[in-house]
Structure 1
């Protein structure tokens, strides 16, 4: 099993697709393990010649836990998590790479762009915000009620899976795309069996809640980027995606009217094509 190391933090990751293809590091969102990237979507990217590198963020999955179960306060920030991504790139000896992040992973992606602009060829940023603030929330209470739905501590595996499904439903609320509860339940079982540490989620939450990007630095970047956001996202307003696109001057903006906080299967082909086109632009600009 491959691990990268950032100081005393170990980051587990997996690789898929052609070894000679452009590398795309994919960063999951708050509480999500790398298995949250649907294999079908990853395969779409691989079929387009992209090598995908999926990682477990710190405090989830097979990566390092940063505290004990009673330690749920802030232990690190998004900058530290961005450094974890660079550790994976360094472990793979990638001089430059492409990056994709969703939700909290989109925040980490932006931090990587700002901190390591010379290492990134292109970026795909999905349903996230340029900082943690009420101005970017879909509703006034998004940061509280929506962000914490389904994250109570379970007393057993079955309850944990039920709570996972409720969390997924909260992400899909008001979506125009059908919610596959059976698939969500299978993913909940898989994530529980890989690692069930709710205290790690709270440490991730503390890092996310303090996220404040240097937007001036983001606005100076000219690398190719694509921003994807759902108009029905229950957490982050489309205004957040629009703002990121305004800052990244060489970006495409894609707002989907029926999409919530999700990567709907009917849009997999379109998203994969967006990613491929953005990566091709990035690789071409590198010469």
Structure 2
């Protein structure tokens, strides 16, 4: 199994698509393992000639756990997680790369653009915020609900799957797109079997809590970017997406019926946006 190493942190990753295609690092969100990227969507990117590199962030999946079940406070920052991304790219032989991230992965992506800009050719940032602050939340309750929804510790696999489904459903509140409960239930089982460590999620949450991107550094990135955000996101206001796109002088794509999700009816459109951004970064 392929692992990258950032100091003592081991990071599991998988690659798909043409080995000679432009490398795209795909960064998952809070609590999510790399299996959260649906393979049907990944294949659409591969069919466009993109080499996709999926990774488990620290404290989820097959990557390192950074503490014991009792250690749930802040033990690292999103800057450390951005360094993890750079380490995976290096291990995969991608000295320069493209990047996309959703939710927390979008925060990490912004950090990569400020800390490792010389290695990045282009970026796609999906439904995230430039800082974990009230002004960027969809509602006053969003910060708490987004970080704690469905994180109760389960005693059994079945209970863990039910909690997982409830969390996924919360991400789809208000969406115009059908919630695929069968897939959510299947994914809940897959993630449980790969690694069930809710204490790791809480350490990720502690890293998110004080995230604030440096707007001047982000604005200086100067390479092709696209921002995708749903106007019905129950956690993060679309104003956050507008602000990030403005700083980056990038494409902005707002979807009126989309929540905190990557809905299948939009896969073709998203793949087109991503491929166009990657192509521009290659030029």
TM-score by length of 2: 0.99
- Counterpart mapping for 1:72-221 below 5 A: 72-221=72-221
8 Å Cα contact 1:222-1:248 kept in structure 2: yes
Q: Distance in 2 between matches of 1:94 and 1:64?
A: 22
Equivalent residue number for residue 283 of structure 1: 282
Contact 1:29 1:102 in 2 (8 A): yes
1:81-109 superposed Cα distances (whole Å, 9 cap, x missing partner): 00000000111222210000000000000
Give CA deviations for 1:190-241 in whole Å, capped at 9, x if unaligned: 0000000000000000001111111111111210000000000000000000
**Is the 1:147–1:235 Cα contact (8 Å) retained in structure 2?**
no
Q: Helix, strand or coil for the counterpart of 1:191?
A: helix
Cα-to-partner distance string for 1:10-50 (whole Å, 9 max, x where unaligned): 00000000001000000000000000000000000000000
Q: Give the structure 1 partner of residue 271 of structure 2.
A: 272
Deviation by residue 1:163-187 (Cα, 9 ceiling, x = unmatched): 0000000000010000011110000
RMSD of the alignment, in Å? 0.6
Distance 1:59 1:261 in 2: 22
Partner residue in 2 for 1:262: 261
Separation of aligned partners in 2, 1:50 and 1:94: 13
- The alpha carbon displacement at 1:150 in A equals 1.0
Q: Give the Å deviation of 1:145.
A: 2.1
Alignment correspondent of 2:17: 17
Equivalents in 2 of 1:72, 1:220: separation in Å?
35
Structure 2 residue runs of 5 or longer lacking an equivalent are none
SS state of the match for residue 121, structure 1? strand
Q: Which runs of 4+ in 1 moved over 2 A?
A: none
CA distance in 1, matches of 2:176, 2:147: 20
TM superposition score normalised by structure 1: 0.98
Determine the C-alpha separation between the residues in 2 that align with 1:256 and 1:237.
12
**CA offset digits 1:42-95 (Å, max 9, x no partner):** 000000000000000000000000000111000000000000000001112222
Structure 1 residue 147, shift from structure 2 partner: 2.7
